Amino acid sequence: MFLILLLPGLPVSLHDADSPDAYLPPARLTRLAFDRRSARFGQLDFLLGEIGQRMQERMQMIRLSPARALDIGCGHGRGLAALRAQYPDAQIAGLDISGAMLREAAQRDPQRQAGWLGRMLGKRPVFDLVQGDLATLPFAPASFDLLWSNLALHWHPEPHRVFPEWHRVARDEGLVLFSLFGPDTLAELRAAFAEVDPGTHTLRFVDMHDIGDMLVNSGWSTPVMDMETLTITYESPRTLLREVQAFGGLRLPPIPSQGLRGRRWLDALLGALERRRNADGLIPLTFEIVYGHAWKLAPRGRQDVDEMGRAVVPLDKIGRARPRR
């Protein structure tokens, strides 16, 4: 394990060489990292809110009336409030690996406004908040009609383990709808780092097609994947770095020959970002947003299903229809 101090006033980054994915820390370090980031995570509400709104627009084209819905990786609870507004009669639950994030999410619960009087009257919270990992959900099988996850999946080091677990807790005919960052995210920042040293400094994001394959291999049916690119501009390279650090997008292992990086290395990085200013004098940063949804279909007798989620009937099981008499 090692510590890297990126900029004065910025939190340190923790990474573990024994992580299943060398680009992401294991769950215990992810939890600690997001506990530390929670106080500053509100500055990213604009991005979470924008993507959440676009997910809601997709949801409006899908006929669904869930009795129970789960926001996986709920963070500060923006998605919880959105789900409550869209499905006022549903029981809404939120899960996050960070206890500090969940405490912030609890502040959005409308029932908190009732205060001590509400507690005396036995009013329960509107949202059920649970701490846990994306790939080991603390829920019984077939618990939810809707699984919702906004910009959370890319933090897990083993996404191929996540979708089977989500499938387990979904009810038959249930829906999963999610968003995550794609491989082109932070392209300009990676290019700036490449001018400074040959190391890997940002998280690795999974390709949309690989995510679709994981869905199918996990039992989800009729997956639909699409992607769009957003560009956010910054006036200052330091602000850009602080925001990327705030949402956990940086990975900065030391180079053995250099040890911990110093002022010269930082100045070189800031200079590389400065050279990327556009015609308006701003520094662009790309975010590739991948959207996906899929269904958990109810079992259909003894029919098999192929790799595309289509029912397969063996030839010897096909018979002629009997004529009516």
Domains of the chain (ranges plus CATH)?
A: 2-312 (3.40.50.150)
CA–CA gap between residue 68 and residue 143 (Å, rounded): 7
pTM (two decimals):
0.76
Give per-residue burial for 38-61: e unless 16+ CB within 10 Å, then b.
beebeebeebbeebbebbbeebee
pLDDT 10s digit of each residue in the chain, 325 long? 222 223 333 332 323 333 333 344 455 555 555 555 555 666 667 788 899 999 999 988 888 899 999 999 988 888 898 898 899 899 999 999 888 888 888 886 666 555 544 444 444 457 889 999 999 999 999 999 999 999 999 888 788 899 999 999 999 999 999 999 999 999 999 999 999 988 888 888 899 999 999 999 999 999 999 999 999 999 999 999 988 887 777 775 444 444 456 788 899 999 999 999 999 999 999 999 999 999 999 887 544 555 555 555 444 444 444 444 4
Q: To which residue do tokens 């939890």 refer?
A: 31
Cα dihedral sign, 87-150-37-128: positive
229, 289 in Cβ contact below 8 A? Answer: yes
For CA atoms 36, 39, 43, 49, give the dihedral sign: positive
209-245 tens-digit pLDDT? 999 999 999 999 999 999 999 999 999 999 999 888 8
Contact 182/275 with Cβ under 8 angstroms? no
Task: Look up residue 322 and give its DSSP letter.
Answer: P
Q: What distance lies between CA 6 and its chain's CA centroid?
A: 24
Signed CA dihedral, 130, 78, 54, 97: sign only: negative
Quick one: CA torsion of 300, 211, 208, 102, rounded to 10 degrees?
Answer: 110
Q: Residue 230: how many CB atoms within 10 A of its CB?
A: 14
Contacts of 251 (CB under 8 A, 6+ apart): 13, 15, 23, 24, 200, 201, 202, 203
Amino acid residing at 38: S
Q: Provide the pairing of β-strand 170-181 with 283-296.
A: antiparallel
DSSP string, 115-165: HHHHHHTTPPPSEEEEE-BTTB--S-TT-EEEEEEES-GGG-S-HHHHHHH
Side-chain-side CA neighbours of 242 within 13 Å: the count stands at 13
**pLDDT digit string, tens, across residues 80-94:** 988 988 998 999 999
Residue 6 · residue 241 · CB < 8 Å? yes
Distances (CA, A) of 306 to 91, 154, 293, 298, 303: 34, 27, 19, 15, 10
How many Cα neighbours within 13 Å face the side chain of 316? 0
